[in-house]
Chains A and B, each alone.
Chain A
């Protein structure tokens, strides 16, 4: 089974620009979550989508948005980029069954804002 695929792996953007990151979950997984990883704040939850609906949202400004398509692929968008948005953005694909929820992560997209 193919894993979680994130594209692109690396991005360099200028302050004020916007960026779109993509995530393809494991086949059959309907839940996709996004996390931001920085040295200072660690891993922080951005949002989660299930069947094209946002189910949960972390404490991030409205510049961070996402969506999910009918094939479960997800995108996240960051508008008006700031230097502090430089981070590793991780996507997780998950499923829930009797034994609880398991989340599987992609390799991440390294965003650098200059």
Chain B
């Protein structure tokens, strides 16, 4: 079945460090890919998305590129801030699908 695999956390960085959170997926066809972020005590916020191969999603300094050949959608940010501390989820949904499939989540902790 379809699945999403994220790197295990927690990821601990100093402010202004470079961030990469790896995400790979297994799915048939051409799913849409997403990154969601969850702050403590909150629901999920859509961070960015990509709907086809080679698309790059970007938002708030975060970027991820849909790589069909490596079935990956790695999240990157050039300079993290303390306020980026949260849990990040990679997810996919099929073109005609109605259910998001999530990775386990990666906790990011940024210290000043």
Task: Give the B-binding residues of A (Cβ under 8 A).
Answer: 4, 6, 31, 33, 35, 42-43, 45, 48, 50, 55-56, 58, 90, 92, 99-108
Contact = CB atoms under 8 A, between A and B. Distances in A.
A44 B19 CA distance: 27
A104 to B, nearest CB: 6
Contact of B42 (A42, A55, A92, A107): A107
B102 A43 contact: yes
A99 to B, nearest CB: 5
A108 B36 CA distance: 15
B95 A92 contact: no
Contacts of B34: 103
Interface string B29-45: 00010101000001111
Interface of B: 32, 34, 36, 42-46, 49, 51, 89, 93, 95, 97-105
A56 B45 contact: no
B44 A105 contact: yes
5 contacts: A45-B99, A45-B101, A100-B49, A101-B98, A103-B93
Interface class of chain A by DSSP:
strand
Contacts of B45: 105
8 nearest A-B residue pairs (beta carbon): A100-B51, A100-B32, A43-B102, A105-B44, A45-B99, A105-B43, A107-B43, A48-B98
Contacts of A58: 99
A56 B51 contact: no
Contacts of A101: 32, 93, 97-98
Nearest to B6: A42
